[in-house]
């Protein structure tokens, strides 16, 4: 059975984006890019909610992304993507498919199919919903060495306790710390 992995960057005070949804606080360097590329190599499907999909679809196919990070841009553009949204009319980024209804049912079905693991990037509302349905098999949170003092919390909408078991940690030279957890 395939696993669903959630990966997100988070501030020390628990936010995935600032109050304006800006992500300019992400600490991204060569070590992070190498990790990101290895992580993308280990999956065959990327899941998104609408907002994250729109941000990613606007950036990764662009010449600026291809010039600044050609390996990750190639991986992001070539990997099959599923966007969950009731409001999007279409998903036009290469290798994208739109699912308008029943995200939990679709993810449960996808997990039963053969293939590599799947990864969910950002997409806080979708992540909260899938966590509520016990569909996330691993939570990878990259803590960035910054405090925003306000913003959008990652697990808003989770209404029950989700106990976790620490799988591993990794400290990056930049001060980023990767925490990997499995639901108990």
Q: What is the pLDDT of residues 118-149, one digit of tens each?
A: 999 988 889 999 999 999 999 999 999 999 99
pLDDT above 90 for 98? yes
Q: What is the CA radius of gyration of the chain?
A: 16
53, HSE (Cβ side, Cα atoms, 13 Å) = 26
Q: What is the pLDDT of residues 72-83, one digit of tens each?
A: 999 999 999 999
Locus of tokens 């988070």 = 10
Residue 103's pLDDT is what?
96
- Cβ pair 46, 81 in contact under 8 A: yes
- Number of folded domains that form the chain: 1
pTM of the predicted structure, to 2 decimals: 0.94
Domain containing residue 26: 4-183
Phi-psi region of 12 (alpha: psi -120 to 50; beta: other; left: phi over 0): alpha
* 138/183 Cα distance (integer angstroms): 7
pLDDT above 90 for 155? no
Q: What is the pLDDT of residues 4-27, one digit of tens each?
A: 999 999 999 999 888 888 788 888
CATH number, domain of 171, equals 3.40.430.10
Q: For the residues 62-86, what does the mean pLDDT come to?
A: 97
């Amino acid at each position: 059975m395939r696993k669903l992995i959630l990966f997100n960057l988070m501030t020390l005070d628990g936010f995935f984006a600032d109050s304006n949804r800006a992500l300019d606080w992400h600490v991204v360097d060569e070590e992070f890019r190498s990790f990101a590329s290895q992580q993308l190599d280990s999956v065959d499907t990327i899941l998104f909610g609408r907002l994250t999909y729109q941000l990613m679809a606007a950036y990764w196919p662009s010449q600026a992304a291809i010039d600044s990070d050609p390996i990750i841009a190639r991986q992001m553009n070539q990997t099959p993507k599923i966007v969950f949204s009731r409001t999007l009319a279409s998903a036009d980024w290469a290798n994208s498919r739109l699912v308008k209804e029943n995200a939990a049912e679709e993810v449960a079905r996808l997990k039963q199919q053969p293939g590599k693991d799947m990864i969910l990037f950002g997409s806080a509302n979708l992540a909260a919903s899938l966590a509520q349905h016990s569909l996330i098999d691993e939570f990878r949170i990259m803590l960035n060495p910054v405090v925003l003092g306000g913003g959008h919390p990652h697990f808003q909408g989770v209404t029950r306790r989700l106990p976790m078991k620490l799988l591993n940690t990794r400290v990056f030279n930049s001060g980023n710390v990767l925490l990997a957890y499995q639901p108990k």
